[in-house]
Amino acid sequence: RKHLTRATLPWLLLVGGVGNLLPAYFFTTAQTLIPSSVAGMLNALTPMFTFVVGVALFGTRIKRLQVWGLVVGLVGAAVLAFQPGMGASLEPGMVWGAGRVVLATACYGLSVNLIRNKLGHVPAAAVAALSLGLMSLPALAVALAGPGLSVASAHPEGPRGLIAVTVLAVVGTGLALIAFNRIIQKTNALFASTVTYIIPLFATMWGWLDDEPLTVLHLVGGAVVLVGVWLVNRGGK
């Protein structure tokens, strides 16, 4: 409780909203429209949004190589989002799905910079616990207002689904946030955000194991995104 002060409360609320609540909504709704492999690859845009927010709001210096990295990364994202034969092209569902993932990565970019610049003195575990705790009531209200709980209780696979959500909440959100916040505080926002480099690889692997289609364009688009974010970081050295 000692870390929940008038000075930290606004930033914790903002981090909880843009770093947890909104991305969770964007990603879960996007996954009903696009394959998880595409969502994971688009998530690699996070370092670029971290860089853009840092430049625009926190005075991060920009270099030419980093600008090229932004352009290359966006080209790769476009390749992933609009693949012919994947229901991707310019179909509304795919566009909306990809757009929501991009919005989520923009939220992450803002959140990472806020943690580094406004909450760097607060322990990583406290940032994770307080930011998530402050969002628990709004999240609970949304859950109770929607059909999710009733559908889960009526569906034969509902209990397994709730167990999966619980595991994701504890491991994929709680523990991961503590580790991620610690990396941000120990290094810098842009370096920490590069953990998303490996997410596309695992997203593609799990999507393939779940019988989702994997095409050459998946691999090309993912590689281009990774080259873009690599250039962003390379230019910052």
- Our CA angle for 206, 226, 184, nearest 5°, is 90
Mean pLDDT over each residue of the chain, to the nearest integer: 84
Q: Is the model's pLDDT at 60 over the cut of 90? A: no
- State the pLDDT confidence band at 87, using cuts at 50, 70 and 90: very low
pLDDT tens, position by position, 6-19: 889 999 999 999 99
Q: Is the model's pLDDT at 237 over the cut of 80? A: no
Give the Cα separation of 70 and 63 in Å (integer): 11
Please report, rounded to a whole number, the percentage of residues in the chain having pLDDT higher than 90.
27
Confidence (pLDDT) at 119: 92
pLDDT tens, position by position, 184-234: 888 778 778 877 776 766 777 777 787 877 778 878 888 888 888 888 878
Confidence (pLDDT) at 20: 93
CB atoms within 10 A of CB 144: 10
Q: What is the CA radius of gyration of the chain?
A: 18
Residue 94, class by beta-carbon neighbours within 10 Å (0-12 exposed, 13-18 middle, 19+ buried)? buried
Give the Cα separation of 5 and 115 in Å (integer): 15
Give the Cα separation of 10 and 192 in Å (integer): 23
Confidence (pLDDT) at 213: 74
Q: Is the model's pLDDT at 43 over the cut of 80? A: yes
